[in-house]
Structure 1
């Protein structure tokens, strides 16, 4: 990487904003997670629903904001990179750390494995098909680099699948009878705390995205890889906090449900929302698909570990962490030109 216009002061300022914004996201997400958990308990929702929908959607708000902001600023590639990078981080790092803090084992259930994990694999497949349709029916270029336009009608395909996901969840809780509910909770206070957390995250993510864009221009970092690394790690903090705390409290189902539910929301909702706001965004198929292939392999690895005795052991946790290190090394190799699996523009 080369520096186009060496401005150490500007670079230090951007790095400082990234650090501060990351901390603010952590605080705001903590408020959001706590209020969402209290509200889920108040309404008597089962653990898997708390993790895969209520808490997952809340902790995915940073990714949603980052995609919206990058779409409006014309750097949609960075937003997609943040989603894919965050998804890989969620799949490999969060269950690993949750398993380590949960006395060496992260206990899950057949419901999480056979419904949440498998539905998430379908979500990845649908997103790949959506990107492929954009290249086939709205091509911008052909050859070594395949770029297509992702339009609003195409963006509706993932959203429709998420609608099916919500329908399946609703069917599962239609006959659920909670053993206890938290009736002493103030709904108004918890909803207010949730809104305050969302507002805090909104402001912080805007500063984060702006600073990362600035660093990318200074050091000639491709926008997709800036999203995969820096923004992805920062916006994954809420999911990390939620899942690790749940695992430490012995709530393995909620912990894993949050990871898979959050990733499902990111792929099927956040990316289409960015398209619906802007109208049309370019999708570099030759960049997105190898990254989604890496995400698929990570998901298969986690699914295999989850299905084995329905737990993630201590050894398996370290294997997941090692796999993420390999992923980061590959991203660095692609950015520096050491490998050329991804044919970017």
Structure 2
């Protein structure tokens, strides 16, 4: 086998491990949420979102702490967020009964609003790293320190408080069902092992692919790895839609993306101490991410549902994103240079 075939086999095997682990992970978190009678929006935004976010969280931490690939990690977080916001609602709608995804006004404004706030917060923190910790005079790169990442982590704690308050109003917390929480936690732990092994393989494959093709690791993180670790959430979204719980699908997307932005990179920074980030390359992507979030907000606010035409539109926008990344990889676009 050639080196390219070996890397491709590694990527395929790693994706299979991530998929298997994430499937069990999603089922275990869903069972835990049902066990404690959590409301559907809280279950999607926190419990299911945390479970489905674990692959990209581990990928980000592994890329920074084990491989010292900060740009790859940023690419994974942003690429995963773009995939979730545009692809998961689109595919969930097209594969749901009636080909439309219903939602509600509270979900639209609360979850989407907080997600946009999360994007703005991370962008501000990255800007502060350039202003206060520039790598060189006049440089667009800065050092992201432990002190700076406390802001997004604090914002996520506030998000959890809001969700806790919603759950308390709902009267959640009373255990129910035939199985104990420990049994569901066992499945959770086993799934985390599969996900961790698969993600490490994906990160290594991305690094090798970038060497073989002479392209940026950042772009591989934005596309292949970012989408690969997020594919299980398509399964979550479709399952929720078919179970007549469309709010879980949308809230999982937004809650998972919020977790990725506010927790994944900050935790890695807390472990290693500080990382260097190219703010110039990040800004266009975050602008696109805000635009994608506002597009989703517009779509779900229209009649409080995602129609078939709107779902196709979301997928076409993601296709445009991939075309942009392809242009970046061959030098036809230099926005991320």
Q: Give the TM-score taking structure 1 as reference length.
A: 0.94
Q: CA deviation at 1:171?
A: 1.3
Q: Are 1:33 and 2:29 counterparts?
A: no
Question: Are 2:216 and 1:199 equivalent residues in the alignment?
Answer: no
- Indicate if the aligned counterparts of 1:124 and 1:267 stay in contact, CA closer than 8 A: yes
RMSD: 1.4
Structure 2 CA distance for aligned equivalents of residues 180 and 153 of structure 1: 38
Q: Which whole-Å deviations, capped at 9, do the CAs of 1:59-93 have from their partners, x for residues lacking one?
A: 10111111111112110110110110010000000
Listed one character per residue, the Cα deviations across residues 99-155 of structure 1 (whole Å, up to 9, x for unaligned) are 111221101111210110000000000000000000000001354x51000000001
2:119–2:261 contact (8 Å) kept in structure 1: yes
What secondary structure, in the 3-state scheme, does the structure 1 residue paired with 2:262 have? helix
Of 319, 324, 329, the residue aligned with 2:313 is 319
Contact 2:133–2:143 (CA under 8 A) maintained in structure 1: yes
* Contact 2:79–2:226 under 8 Å retained in 1: yes
Cα deviation 1:176-215 (Å, max 9, x = unaligned): 1369974212322210001110111001101111111111
Instruction: Map 1:219-258 to 2 at 5 A.
Output: 219-258=213-252
Match of 1:136 in 2: 131
**In 2, distance between residues paired with 1:312 and 1:179?**
32
The counterpart of 1:55, out of the listed 45, 48, 72, is 48
The correspondence of residues 211-290 of structure 1 with structure 2, limited to 5 A, is 211-290=205-284
**Structure 1 residues without counterparts, runs of 5 or longer:** 1-7
Given candidates 152, 156, 167, the residue that maps to 1:158 is 152
The number of equivalent residue pairs is 335
Alignment of 1:52-201 (within 5 A): 52-72=45-65, 73-102=67-96, 103-143=98-138, 146-177=140-171, 182-201=176-195
Asked if the contact 1:239/1:262 (under 8 Å) is kept, the reply is no
For 2:285 and 2:149, the matched residues in 1 are separated by 19
Unmatched 5+ residue regions in structure 2? none
- Alignment pair present for 1:46 and 2:36: no
Structure 1 residue ranges (4+ consecutive) displaced by more than 3 angstroms after TM superposition: 177-182
CA distance in 2, matches of 1:180, 1:276: 35
